């Protein structure tokens, strides 16, 4: 498959991840009924499932085309694990970031179409932005948020690398990876609003700006560091040489 077509797949896949995941948080996370007495929103659990479902659905849709990384950290982790060529890192990352920006732009257009909706970058996490300190949903410190993002991304990549290993059960990687992302969100939404994905963080931060855009650096550095550590660790301790004819082919790397 030509690199251009694979990058197009990464663009639309990442757009879907941001639209489905961040969109569910912004548009459906909290929703009061007409009386204002009952919250009909999907909450943390629903948002966590939405992020997992975006990956699960896209893995089956474009995993055979681009590998369905949808995340610069994943591309770096697969590269560190010897699964992805360095020559394709930059094109993939550009496509992913552009997809994240367009996805966030669609959410912005929809959200601002509701009377009374306003983006205040000094309060909370508008457009499902990520943050630390005052912009951590639970008020967690910079160090706590950094450690959380490194560790969550490390385990995310360990699951990706293990589920897509040629020794793993064929065809089930998207399920394992989608559920892993769901679990990661259940753990870390209160801490950072969950990034583990620089492209997912960049799109909303660009539209919100201000102090949340100033905090974006952490959500590039920490996920990529965690992914690189996982790629190195898996390749060093768990990888084995493929037996040329005896092994059944595994699915392509997906996330």
pLDDT tens digits along 65-88: 999 999 999 999 999 999 999 999
What's the predicted TM-score (pTM) here?
Answer: 0.93
pLDDT given at position 244 = 53
Residues of the chain with pLDDT under 70: 34, 243-255
pLDDT given at position 122 = 79
The alpha carbon of residue 126 and the mean position of all alpha carbons in its chain are separated, in whole angstroms, by: 17
Residue spans of the domains in the chain: they are: 3-114+126-236
pLDDT given at position 40 = 80
Query: How is domain 3-114+126-236 classified at the CATH fold level?
Result: Glycerol uptake facilitator protein (1.20.1080)
pLDDT tens digits along 118-151: 888 877 889 999 999 999 999 999 999 999 999 9
Among 73, 111, 79, 109, which residue's Cα sits nearest to residue 93? 73
pLDDT given at position 65 = 97
Please list, residue by residue across 200-209, b when 16 or more beta carbons sit within 10 angstroms of its beta carbon and e when fewer do.
bbbbbbbbbe
């Amino acid at each position: 498959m030509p690199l251009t077509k694979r990058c197009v797949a990464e663009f639309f896949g990442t757009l879907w991840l941001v639209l489905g995941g961040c969109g569910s948080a912004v548009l459906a996370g909290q929703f009061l009924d007409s009386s204002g007495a009952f919250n009909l929103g999907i909450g943390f659990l629903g948002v966590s499932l939405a992020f997992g479902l975006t990956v699960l659905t896209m893995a089956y849709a474009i995993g055979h085309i681009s590998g369905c990384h949808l995340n610069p950290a994943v591309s770096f982790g697969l590269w560190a694990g010897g699964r992805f060529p360095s020559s394709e890192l930059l094109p993939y990352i550009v496509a992913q970031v552009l997809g994240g920006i367009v996805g966030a732009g669609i959410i912005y257009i929809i959200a601002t179409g509701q009377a009374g909706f306003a983006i205040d970058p000094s309060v909370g996490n508008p457009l499902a932005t990520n943050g630390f300190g005052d912009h951590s949903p639970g008020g967690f410190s910079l160090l706590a948020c950094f450690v959380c993002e490194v560790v969550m991304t490390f385990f995310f990549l360990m699951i990706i690398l293990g589920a897509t290993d040629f020794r793993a059960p064929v065809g089930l990687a998207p399920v394992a990876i989608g559920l892993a992302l769901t679990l990661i969100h259940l753990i870390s939404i209160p801490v950072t609003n969950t990034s583990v994905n620089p492209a997912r963080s960049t799109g909303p931060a660009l539209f919100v700006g201000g102090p949340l855009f100033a905090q974006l650096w952490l959500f590039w550095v920490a996920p990529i560091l965690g992914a690189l550590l996982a790629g190195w660790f898996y390749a060093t301790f768990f990888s084995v040489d493929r037996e040329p004819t005896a092994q059944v082919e595994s699915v392509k790397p997906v996330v």
